A and B are shown apart, each in its own frame.
Chain A
């Protein structure tokens, strides 16, 4: 079945850039999503990218997609302490908007 893998932890200093990586297995992916989850909260949609694109920029966020290698990354520029959270990559394959999630990457931003 589909599988989405993420590294579990990333630590950066405030002001640096953060890069969170994700790999997926299904070559039929249509869209790939990034969500942020703060402690005790639900999922906040950050951005998503269509599988035929290779890059999408949205303010401090840059998504890069390498469809050949099935690799997705989320770059956060000028990382702030408020960016500390768990970030989930999710893969959408079918037309029904169901998502397969990775286990999440915990981002810790130190002052």
Chain B
């Protein structure tokens, strides 16, 4: 069965460029999450979607970061004017309903972003 997939697996870009990271959740999962994992640290919450809407975007670090999920399935994380400090592994997760804290989040393998 297909799990959460993320593309690309690796992305190298130059400072100041724009990047898009894609997440394909498990089919039928209504909730989708983005996290960022810097070297030597645990994942850090960025944003949570319930369906097409962002239910909680409190983790987005600044207005250079934006995420969409227009049809309630695939999501794209967009980073404008990238900075070297944006280098990290970006993780996506999905869960069946997102209702209740006990609902299991299934994680993708991540996209490793390197900003030169």
Indicate whether A and B interact: no
Interface residues of B (CB under 8 A from A): none
